[in-house]
Structure formats: structure tokens, C-alpha cells
Amino acid sequence: MELLKELTQAWGIAGREKSIRTIIKREIEGLADEIFTDPVGNLIALKKGADSQDKKKIMLSAHMDEIGFQVTKVESDGRIRVCNVGFIWTSAIYNDKVIFQNGTIGVVGCQGPIEEAKNSAGQLYIDIGCTTKEDAEKYVKVGDYCGFIGSYYELQNEKITAKSFDNRVGCYVLIEALKKNKGDGPNDVYYVFSVQEEIGCRGAAVASERIKPDIGISVDVTPDHFYPSDLEGSNAVGEGVGVKLGDPSAMLDEYLVDEMLACCEENHIKYQRDVMDRGGTDASSINLSGCGVKVCGISIVDRFPHSQSSIISKEDVRGAIELADKYTKRVFHFEE
């Protein structure tokens, strides 16, 4: 999965997704009927379907952005103070490295014991090797962004680890599903690579207002519950693509969920029933756009999410690609 590796290793904090967009645009060039970037930075590809009286507009959304930090102050001793961009576990990044957009590397420290930081990014600082403000400001300035460093490694049993599977793996799924779409299905499919999900699902809100879809589908990671963690549930890496049944940010449409479960059964796609009881996805913004949109979700279970070393299964990824392809080719009938 060289493309997935490239996507995870690219730099793209929320609001600064240009490098990710460039990679995706290169990969999907010539595959869609229309490809364009909207004013907020969403990359949207439309693949038209065959003429049909049952034709629906389907919007698949996977966000390009990742979590990170923004510089709030450069101290007199050269330390860089930051605020978080998206939800971050301070303990996950403590004593580890970050990289700024210009390539400057730093190591994350804490004002006191990390246990007392209580998950506040304001208690952290970044050491870039400078001991004066004047020297530090040659490399980093107030307002600059930095993100995690987390190399891509193959693990045992088809597992892989890297930073930013949230949600570069969703982008990868959309790219591969688009490659499978020859335009002979019954629906028009919009592949939306959205921006700014980690700070409020903003890109999907804009894209859905433009597209006005009949069906919205978030393609994103969901937390693993197999090993003890801060969450409890049934999700497990390697147990199949997740069919989202619970998402606190949006109520999933019963008919669409049933159709997705049927799609998995009919096409022998290994799946698990995904209930996420904390967090949210682009489905939230799509659901409440316009006069309301029916939504559902495809999930890739992610162990240790929002860290530089999360773990997913390649088998689950292949299942997500297959489901995204087969589901968007179904005929949907809505009750009046």
C-alpha cells in the first residue's frame, strides 16, 4: 500500500491540507467526469452514473486533515508554546517529535509532570534546539503549525502502524473506490476529500451545501475496543470493515444502514457492527445540511487513534474499498 504510506507521511494539519490534496489530485486525474477544489479547500470528484429513474446523488466524504498544534508564543528561552488543533492526548505526544510545515523538527516537553497537564496543550512546549527567542524565531513564528511524526511500519498478521490513519486511510479508500467506478452504476457519486474535519467537520458542511446529496456517507476511522482503553465497546482491528450503527454526532438512517448490512452479506464482505459512543464524523455536517440528508457511515477500526502510532488492518481496508464500491452501485428507494 505505497499510496497509503505516502498519504500518512505527508504533512497536512487542519486548515493546511494542500500537500494531501496535491497527492490525491495526482492519483485521481482522469478518473472522474469533474474534479475541482472549492473555496475552503475540499477536493471534489464527480463520477456520473448511467441514466436511471432511480438515480441518486451520493456523497462519500473522507477528511484530509490531521491533528496538530499551532504556535501561540515563543518564550525568551527559545521554547515554543502551543495550542491544540483538534483533539490531542498530551501524554501521547510527550517526549516525542513534531515537525513544522517548513521542516523544522522539535521535541515536546511539559511545564511540569505530564500527569498534571490534564490533557491541556497549554502545559506543553516544543524544544527546537534554540535557547533564545531571537534564535528560535528564525525557524518558528507565532501562528505556525506542526504535526506528529510517525513512520509507517508493517506489523504481524496484516496490521500496519503509522500516524494519521485518521483519516488518510479514508482518503485512500475513496481513491481506490473511484478507480473501480466505471460509470455504469445507477447513481452519481461525489468523492469528497474534505478539509477541517478535526476542528468541527467544516469542509463537509460546505461540500454538502454545494452538492445537495440524497445520501451522505462518511468514510472514517472508528476507535478499537479490543484491548483495554478509555473506551468500551465491540470494535476490533481485523474483524472487518465497520458498518456504522452508532455515532453521537449524527443519527444514521435506518434504511441506509440496513441496505449497507445487506450489501455486505450479499457480496460476502467481512464486516462488524460499529458503535462509536464518543466523537463524530463528517456525517454530522452532511446530515444537517440543506433541508436534511439521510446519512450512514463506513468505518475502519483504528487502535490508538489520534496518536503517532495507530494500528489498522489491511484486510479491513480492502473490505472498506469493496463496500464503498458495491454500496454506491445499489438502487435506493425512499419512502415518501
Q: Which residues are catalytic?
A: 197
| Distance of alpha carbon 66 from the chain centroid | 7
Give 193's Cβ-side CA count (13 Å radius).
Answer: 34
Q: What is the DSSP letter of 212?
A: -
Task: Note whether 258 and 243 are within 8 A (CB).
Answer: no
**Closest CA relative to residue 214, chosen from 55, 51, 61:** 55
Rg (Cα) of the chain, in Å, rounded? 20
- What contacts 254, CB < 8 A, 6 or more positions away? none
CB-based contact 109:125 (threshold 8 Å): yes
Please enumerate in sequence order all residues whose Cβ is within 8 A of that of 13, keeping only pairs 6 or more positions apart, or say none: 65, 66, 67, 68, 70, 85, 101, 145, 146, 147
Per-residue exposure over 150-188, b if at least 16 CB sit within 10 Å of its own CB, e if not: bebeeeeeebbbbbbbbbbbbbbbbbbbbeebeeebbbb
